[in-house]
Structure 1
Amino acid sequence: MLVILSVLLYTTICCANQPSIVSRIDSNELSFENPIQTDEELIYPTIDPNIAEDANLTTPQLITKYGYKAEVHYVTTEDGYILQLHRISGGNKYPTKKGKKVCFLQHGLFDSSATWVLSGPGHGLGYILADENYDIWLGNNRGNRYSCNHTTLNPFGSSKDRKHFWSFSWHEIGAYDLPAMIDYVLAQTNQTKLQIIAHSQGSTAFFVMASQRPEYNDKIEMMHALAPIAFLSHVISPPIRIIAPFVSAVETINSLIGLNYITPSNEYLTLAGRIMCRDKAPTQIICSNLLFLTMGYTSDQLNMTLLPVILGHTPAGAATDQLLHYGQEVNSGHFRQYDHGRVGNLIRYKRISPPDYNLKNVKAPVALYYAQDDWLAVVKDTQRLLKSLPNVVHNYLVPHKQFNHIDFLWGIDAPFLVYDEIVRTMKLTNYDEPNMDIDIRNFLAL
């Protein structure tokens, strides 16, 4: 039943308020005054007004609300996707100033730039790094609520447009989106290098970029991979394990009925989250268990009060091929390009099976941060990734036995358990000697 509820939660069909094609900054996106009060707020007065409001605000509105300087930028990829970037250029502690060191944050699957700030100042990594005097840029990959635009294609238009717009996986995010965003950020800040922090699929896309377009390694001062995903041979997550054997069948069904995408969270899902997941609601446990079922079971790290905000921003939209590509990785045991079938592979790759990504090309310094109770980025698969990368300079297993995949983003103790370690590592200046100071045998019997 939980599997069914999880699928329903993440596959609501998009209908109203479909985004139009845009290529400019909309100043209205920074306005958050006079939010609309709903009947639900009157019916359930126990919900914190800030929680109710934060569930509906955009990323720039959240940043502005909490006293930081927000900017909205757009970049167009070489294949025509229009991506929206969000910037935290300063706050009360460190105002906007030219010449700051740049840090670029990239979200994971079903997620958006909001993930780095929705938990609020002092806890959201975006705010914490801004308070460390970094110039913060938050990416949004193609297909999520902020980057659902194209120069010629309407993502919700004709069947032909939909098919072509949504025909991408995380390969294209790594091959096109990340390079375009990195080039734009460096040009805007007049810098030659930046630090990048990526969670889950964000790390997958980075490894694609660094292996397929190795010239970008020279633009990375350091890559911090949170819950990194490349290999999925040991994935534990029940929904992933259940779906993986049927990837080919799902691909066929999708091609027949045109189910190319999974919609962003809409007003109805947001309202449901605020009603079902609010404090003191008897259904709140269902919300938490839906997350635990996929990501890893724990209870002491999830801030239950934050659930309505999380569901107000997640899922943020994705192409079904992103999921299917991960399913292929589970089945194959490889970190490789999208499998288009024998005929498709021959046409595209000139070989029957898709080629593996060459991780030896990932020359940029990489720091890995992973957790024991992560059912997606499992320790054994992360160890395999560690051994495959040529320049891992920091290897950190979170010292908490129940820390899981989403705790890297919203865990109650994430600032203490993870973010302090990230900040310390970011400030290192000598990457010549790998820092393997965390011996996982102290935590696990391997």
Structure 2
Amino acid sequence: MVTERKFTLIRKYGYPCEIHRVYTEDGYILEMHRIPYGVNNTNRTSRPVAFLQHGLLSSSAEWVLMMPGKGFAYILAESGYDVWMGNARGNSYSRHHVSLSPDSSRFWQFSWHEIGYYDVPAMIDYVLKETRTSRIHYVGFSQGTTAFWVMTSTRPEYNGKIVAMQAMAPVAYIANAKSPLIRAVAPFTNSLERITKLLGANEFLPNGPINNFAGQVLCLEEALTQFLCTNLLFLICGYNEEQLNTTMLPIVMGHTPAGASTKQLIHYGQVHQSGVFRQFDHGWFSNKIKYGTFKPPEYIFKNVRTPVFLHYAENDWLSTPKDVDILYGKLPNAIKYKISLPKFNHLDFVFAIDARKLVYDRIINIMKNFDSVVTYI
């Protein structure tokens, strides 16, 4: 049902769209969405591939909820790209497994480590095979960047499959994160029993009737309760009322949050608390069994050889300038760009009124410089 709702939105504007399903090594079934060409730019041959990976509590919908000319997927399609949008395990579009049910606790035993180690590589390999191209562009937002650091540091062979990586609101080190959500969770992450009681043992903020009610009633522009929607978004990600298109809130809240495992949030809380970007901390005894060490291993950034472009904002409560500087210092091949608008926040990267002017046009200009490197098999 959620897929049909999204496809109706895309097709409403005349864009072609496709559904693809991918199986991971550990049995999760992921749904991908593709816009192979644009409405105005209909050339279908030799289009370089842009792979988009969404953020925490979100889905591929975040790239198309804004109308053509505003939503990044539409802009990329009109700029000559074959656009593929991934979905991480557990969100609205990827709630299937070859043997596990999302009603079982075992289905939810993953964090963003598994998304980076299993999901993103599986989707990239599928896209390369389907498009018969040698390398693709990777665009990640928030957790979509975290998954990329996991993939390229633990499976460095995937550096050779990415022509360049555009990191919007990059998230790795988050010791300086101001988000009340992360700061509230972090002190409890050393006790998995306490934190799962607080957040839920399996799934955190799934998409469902509450979202639909919020989108259709609470968030309407004329509703007195609309401030609840905007304040919730600002509370998590930073405040920038000027760039928020309030008429789009019903659509946004109808698709976001899209669900995630509780362990994804716990893992971020652990990184915030420790100040170290490392694998999931299961406790010293379980760590010794799983990793061979009492502490979880750190991700090795020297393995990330792909050219990386970090796009960050001053008013981002999750990806702060201080933390981006730490990440920048670790990456062997990176350039960083600060958004010129001081109030620009985390969600503005996907939902801001002026996102195209402030972010997307620059990203596309960078991507165009790498298009000649792509070859077709």
Mapped to 1, the partners of 2:332 and 2:87 lie a distance apart of: 28
Mapped to 2, the partners of 1:304 and 1:88 lie a distance apart of: 26
Q: TM-score, normalised by structure 2?
A: 0.95
1:353, distance to aligned residue in structure 2 (A): 0.4
- Equivalent AA in structure 2 for residue 192 of structure 1: S
1:99/1:189 contact within 8 Å kept: no
Answer yes or no: is 1:121 the counterpart of 2:68: yes
Answer yes or no: is 1:94 the counterpart of 2:41: yes
Match of 1:274 among 204, 216, 224: 216
Mapped to 2, the partners of 1:166 and 1:89 lie a distance apart of: 32
Mapped to 2, the partners of 1:257 and 1:310 lie a distance apart of: 23
Answer yes or no: is 1:391 the counterpart of 2:333: yes
1:280, distance to aligned residue in structure 2 (A): 2.1
Could you say which residue in structure 1 is the equivalent of 2:341?
400
1:246, distance to aligned residue in structure 2 (A): 1.3
Q: 1:248-305 CA distances to partner (integer Å, 9 max, x unpaired)?
A: 3354453899721125321342123321111122211121111111101121111111
Mapped to 2, the partners of 1:368 and 1:251 lie a distance apart of: 36
- Superposed, 1:110-259 pairs within 5 Å as 110-156=57-103, 162-252=104-194, 254=196, 259=201
2:41/2:78 contact within 8 Å kept: yes
Match of 2:316 among 374, 395, 399: 374
Mapped to 2, the partners of 1:209 and 1:228 lie a distance apart of: 15
Gaps of 5+ in 2: 373-377
Secondary structure of 1:334 counterpart = coil
- Equivalent AA in structure 1 for residue 368 of structure 2: K
Mapped to 2, the partners of 1:258 and 1:375 lie a distance apart of: 24
Mapped to 1, the partners of 2:135 and 2:247 lie a distance apart of: 38
4+ runs of 1 displaced by more than 6 Å? Answer: 255-258
Q: TM-score, normalised by structure 1?
A: 0.81
Give the number of aligned pairs.
Answer: 373
1:406, distance to aligned residue in structure 2 (A): 0.1
Inter-CA distance 297–250: structure 2 relative to 1 (3 Å threshold): farther
Secondary structure of 2:212 counterpart = helix
Inter-CA distance 405–251: structure 2 relative to 1 (3 Å threshold): farther
Inter-CA distance 85–124: structure 2 relative to 1 (3 Å threshold): same
Q: 1:160-200 CA distances to partner (integer Å, 9 max, x unpaired)?
A: xx222100000000000000000000000000100010000
Answer yes or no: is 1:328 the counterpart of 2:270: yes
Answer yes or no: is 1:417 the counterpart of 2:358: yes
2:18/2:34 contact within 8 Å kept: yes
2:185/2:195 contact within 8 Å kept: no
- Equivalent AA in structure 2 for residue 98 of structure 1: T
1:163/1:258 contact within 8 Å kept: no
Could you say which residue in structure 2 is the equivalent of 1:361?
303
Mapped to 1, the partners of 2:114 and 2:45 lie a distance apart of: 32
Identical amino acids, percent of aligned pairs: 51
- Equivalent AA in structure 2 for residue 126 of structure 1: A
2:211/2:256 contact within 8 Å kept: no
Mapped to 2, the partners of 1:104 and 1:297 lie a distance apart of: 29
- Equivalent AA in structure 1 for residue 304 of structure 2: V
Mapped to 2, the partners of 1:152 and 1:258 lie a distance apart of: 23
- Equivalent AA in structure 1 for residue 66 of structure 2: S
2:33/2:85 contact within 8 Å kept: yes
- Equivalent AA in structure 1 for residue 95 of structure 2: C
Match of 1:293 among 230, 235, 238: 235
1:145/1:264 contact within 8 Å kept: yes
Mapped to 2, the partners of 1:429 and 1:75 lie a distance apart of: 27
- Equivalent AA in structure 1 for residue 338 of structure 2: L
Secondary structure of 1:69 counterpart = coil
- Equivalent AA in structure 1 for residue 308 of structure 2: V
Could you say which residue in structure 2 is the equivalent of 1:49?
none
Inter-CA distance 96–88: structure 2 relative to 1 (3 Å threshold): farther
Could you say which residue in structure 2 is the equivalent of 1:3?
none
Mapped to 2, the partners of 1:173 and 1:257 lie a distance apart of: 20
1:336/1:357 contact within 8 Å kept: yes
- Equivalent AA in structure 1 for residue 13 of structure 2: Y
- Equivalent AA in structure 1 for residue 287 of structure 2: N
Mapped to 1, the partners of 2:72 and 2:198 lie a distance apart of: 42
1:347, distance to aligned residue in structure 2 (A): 0.2
Match of 1:262 among 199, 204, 213: 204
Inter-CA distance 229–258: structure 2 relative to 1 (3 Å threshold): closer
Secondary structure of 1:90 counterpart = coil
Inter-CA distance 281–252: structure 2 relative to 1 (3 Å threshold): closer
Inter-CA distance 232–251: structure 2 relative to 1 (3 Å threshold): farther
Mapped to 2, the partners of 1:343 and 1:233 lie a distance apart of: 25
